[in-house]
Amino acid sequence: MKYGLDISAVGEWGDPITMAELARLAEDSGWDGVFLEDYVFFHDPSVPVYDPWVTLAAIAVATSRVTIGTCVTPVARRRVWKLAAEAITVDHLSAGRLVLGVGLGDAGSPDFGGVGDLTDPTARAAALDEGLEVLAALWSGEPVSYQGSHVSLQDVRLPARPVQRPRIPIWVGGCAALPGPRRRALRWDGSCLYGTPPPDWQDLTADDVRALKDEAAAAGNAHFVVAVGGRQRRADLDAEVDYVSSIAAADADWWSEYVPPDRSLEDTRALIAGGPLRAR
């Protein structure tokens, strides 16, 4: 199992220079991945927000080994052709280390309604599915024409292709207890699903991991990746190690440690420098 960090490019230390420094520290301290949450506006409007894709570019240049990506990008509020080009560029900057995590975005997020974007979750889900089809097609380097309810392209081509083949991996986020996100994840390359929705965030259990792996295998996706995010901390270190060990034994591919944006920079550096809490 690999070990990553789930960080937001928001707050006092969310700027690209500091985030690149933290990513380099993570690489030097034995972490395997750095994943950014994707916000345009934060829940607290007074908190500064930095663009995750520009920040990923800085991280790509500052590192050489760690996997990098978003967890997750709400595709429904992005222009898909621009997102496709940004992802291609970061994949080249990182020499093929990018993962695109996708989802609907947080319920009630000001990222959507405040700027006139889709707010209805059903419409956002449809726009996400259309967007993923178009992303994969654009990354092929071939001309793409597509007419959907939310995405429309006519003979559009991005001749610069990603480094990775056949394309950049797509991991799908959302609530594993809901059928829609689960089905969507199984159509793509991996899952960064969580167990239960906010406000009661719960991590996936070992049984959840096994179920996702079994469903993917039954669908013919033997290389399906299950990434588990650390949204909830256990009462003590032993309990946390037991949990991480249980998901590793269930064949989880990633454990991502969540770093809250209101944590101090000093504490964040210490957490990262200490390296991941590894399974027994």
Q: How many domains are contained in the chain?
A: 1
Neighbours of 79 (CB within 10 A): 12
Neighbours of 130 (CB within 10 A): 20
| pLDDT tens-place string over residues 164-201 | 999 999 999 999 999 999 999 999 999 999 998 767 77
**What percentage of the chain has pLDDT greater than the value 70?**
98
Instruction: Return mean pLDDT, the chain.
Output: 94
Residue 175's CATH number: 3.20.20.30
What per-residue confidence (pLDDT) applies to 187?
Answer: 97
Q: What is the mean pLDDT of residues 192-219?
A: 91
∠189-192-197 over CA atoms, to 5°?
140
Q: What is the mean pLDDT of residues 83-110?
A: 93
In a domain, residue 37? The reply is yes
What per-residue confidence (pLDDT) applies to 236?
Answer: 83
In a domain, residue 100? The reply is yes
What per-residue confidence (pLDDT) applies to 202?
Answer: 84
The bridge status of strand 225-230 relative to strand 33-37 is unpaired
∠267-111-135 over CA atoms, to 5°?
100
- What the block records as the tokens of 143 is 């001309």
CA distance 68 to 12: 21
Strand partners of residue 258: 6
Q: Phi first, then psi: give them for residue 152, nearest 5 degrees.
A: -140, 125
In a domain, residue 96? The reply is yes
| pLDDT tens-place string over residues 23-33 | 999 999 999 99
Instruction: Output 105 or 235, whichever has higher pLDDT.
Output: 105
**Which residues, at least 6 apart from 267, have a Cβ–Cβ distance to it below 8 Å?**
none
In a domain, residue 105? The reply is yes
Which of 36-40, 201-205, 274-278 is predicted least confidently? 201-205
What per-residue confidence (pLDDT) applies to 229?
Answer: 87
CA distance 168 to 126: 21
Alpha carbons within 13 angstroms on the beta-carbon side of residue 133 total: 15
What per-residue confidence (pLDDT) applies to 255?
Answer: 96
In a domain, residue 278? The reply is no
Residue 129 binned pLDDT confidence (cut-offs 50, 70, 90)? very high
**Which residues, at least 6 apart from 235, have a Cβ–Cβ distance to it below 8 Å?**
none
What per-residue confidence (pLDDT) applies to 113?
Answer: 78
In a domain, residue 143? The reply is yes
Boundaries of domain holding 180? 2-273
Neighbours of 78 (CB within 10 A): 20
* pTM across the whole model: 0.96
CA distance 228 to 3: 10
Q: What is the mean pLDDT of residues 85-104?
A: 98
* Residue 226 pLDDT > 80: yes
* Residue 110 pLDDT > 90: no
* Residue 67 pLDDT > 70: yes
Measured in whole angstroms, the distance separating CA 92 from the mean position of its chain's CA atoms is 18
* Residue 234 pLDDT > 80: no
What per-residue confidence (pLDDT) applies to 232?
Answer: 56
In a domain, residue 279? The reply is no
In a domain, residue 178? The reply is yes
